[in-house]
């Protein structure tokens, strides 16, 4: 049996904004909502009015789930081909935005009521809040995926990840995580072909040399000053790690810092 993981975006709102089955006022509202920036006034409006809009959006999804939801389009497409079935559970991973949370709640209800599937929503709290939270968001995403995979493997279940929804960086990082965590299948709806495609996920590991550098230099610290790096003769090594995106320079440019999700990968926990 399988568990599926969905990254969740706002395709339901986008498609509702184009639907002729709702009033122009609602179409305009949904059009505004699907473009809402995290923490914006519009995003707050979604939180305030989501209960009012829920039934309208849910009815649209029930009438045509594959046209209304990109996430369901991919999932129902793969299930229709009898791939990655039977399904025991689905995890939805929305971003911190009210729009993504609203779409997740609609997908959750549809899957429970129309597909009789157990569903859990795990919000990635920092995802979508801004570049200053990006590393925290990636660590949260890695943690969630790691926990899901570990729990599934304990039950001898296989794991598929649906990358259709959500932000592009989220999907890109999710496929990287899938390769390091042992996820069995990754899929999404191709924007041009409008059909399910499968993404290869060969096992990936950090270069042993880079991993050893990180474990040695950052064993008990999170940062090292550039001046200390020069004294220790490791500036070239740290610059290479920085170019690879494994560590970063602090905003004031005086220190190198290990990225939290890289520390987790190095530890292997």
Distances (CA, A) of 236 to 228, 242, 256: 13, 10, 12
Residue 162 within any structural domain of the chain? yes
Average per-residue pLDDT for the chain: 90
Q: Which domain CATH number covers 234?
A: 1.10.10
- Residue 161: burial class (beta carbons within 10 Å; 0-12, 13-18, 19+): buried
**Structure tokens of 76?**
């129902």
Q: Mark whether 193 and 70 lie in a shared domain.
A: yes
In this prediction, residue 19 carries a pLDDT of 95
- Same domain assignment for residues 161 and 138: yes
| Contact predicate 237/215, CB 8 Å | no
> What pLDDT is attached to residue 85?
92
Average pLDDT over every residue of 224-230: 94
Residue 124 lies in a domain: yes
- Model confidence at 193, pLDDT cuts 50, 70, 90, reads low
Domain at 122, CATH number: 3.40.50.10770
Looking at the predicted structure, is the pLDDT value of residue 148 above 90? yes
* Shared domain check, 89 and 184: yes
* pLDDT on residue 181: 87
pLDDT above 60: residue 44: yes
How does residue 127 score in pLDDT terms, banded at 50, 70 and 90?
A: confident
The CA distances from residue 219 to 54, 68, 210, 241, 253, in Å, are 49, 48, 13, 15, 21
Choose the final residue of a domain: 199, 227, 242. Answer: 199
Joined together, the tokens standing for residue 182 give 């042992």
Q: Is residue 54 part of a domain?
A: no
Same domain, 238 and 217: yes
DSSP state of 97: S
List, for residues 83-93, the tens digit of each pLDDT value: 899 999 999 99
Residues 212 and 194 in one domain: no
**Counted domains in the chain:** 2
What does the pLDDT read at residue 191? 61
Instruction: Give residue 192's pLDDT band: very low, low, confident or very high (50, 70, 90).
Output: low
Query: Where in the sequence is the domain holding 248, given as residue range(s)?
Result: 208-267
Kindly tell me if the per-residue pLDDT of 269 is higher than 60. no
Per-residue pLDDT reduced to its tens digit, 46-69:
999 998 899 999 999 999 999 999
Predicted local confidence at residue 38, as pLDDT: 79
Q: Are residues 161 and 214 in the same domain?
A: no
Question: Is there a single domain that holds both residue 98 and residue 221?
Answer: no
Residues 156 and 187 in one domain: yes
CA 173 to chain CA centroid, nearest Å: 8
Starting from the edge strand earliest in sequence, which strands make up the sheet with 255-258, in order? 223-225, 255-258, 247-249
Q: DSSP letters of 154-210?
A: HTT-EEEEE-SSS-HHHHHHHHHHHHHHT--EEEEE-TTT-SEEEE--------HHH
């Amino acid at each position: 049996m399988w568990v599926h993981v969905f990254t969740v975006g706002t395709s339901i709102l986008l498609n509702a904004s184009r639907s002729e089955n709702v009033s122009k006022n609602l179409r305009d509202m949904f059009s505004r909502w699907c473009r809402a920036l995290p923490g914006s006034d519009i995003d707050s409006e979604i939180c305030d009015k989501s209960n009012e809009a829920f039934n309208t959006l849910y009815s649209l999804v029930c009438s045509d789930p594959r046209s209304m939801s990109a996430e369901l389009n991919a999932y129902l497409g793969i299930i229709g081909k009898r791939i990655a079935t039977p399904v025991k559970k689905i995890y939805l991973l929305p971003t911190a935005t009210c729009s993504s949370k609203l779409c997740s709640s609609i997908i959750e209800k549809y899957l429970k009521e129309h597909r009789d599937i157990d569903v859990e929503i795990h919000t990635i709290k920092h995802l979508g809040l801004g570049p200053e939270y990006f590393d925290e968001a990636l660590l949260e995403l890695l943690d969630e995926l790691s926990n899901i995979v570990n729990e599934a493997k304990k039950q001898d279940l296989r794991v598929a990840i649906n990358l259709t929804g959500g932000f592009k960086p989220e999907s890109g990082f999710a496929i990287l995580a899938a390769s390091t965590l042992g996820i069995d299948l990754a899929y999404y709806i191709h924007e041009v072909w409008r059909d399910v495609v499968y993404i290869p996920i060969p096992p990936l590991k950090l270069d042993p040399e880079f991993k050893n550098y990180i474990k040695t230099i950052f064993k008990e610290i999170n940062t090292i000053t550039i001046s200390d790096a020069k004294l220790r003769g490791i500036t070239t090594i740290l610059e290479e790690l920085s170019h690879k995106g494994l560590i970063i320079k602090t905003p004031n440019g005086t220190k190198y810092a290990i990225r939290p999700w890289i520390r987790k990968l190095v530890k292997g926990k």
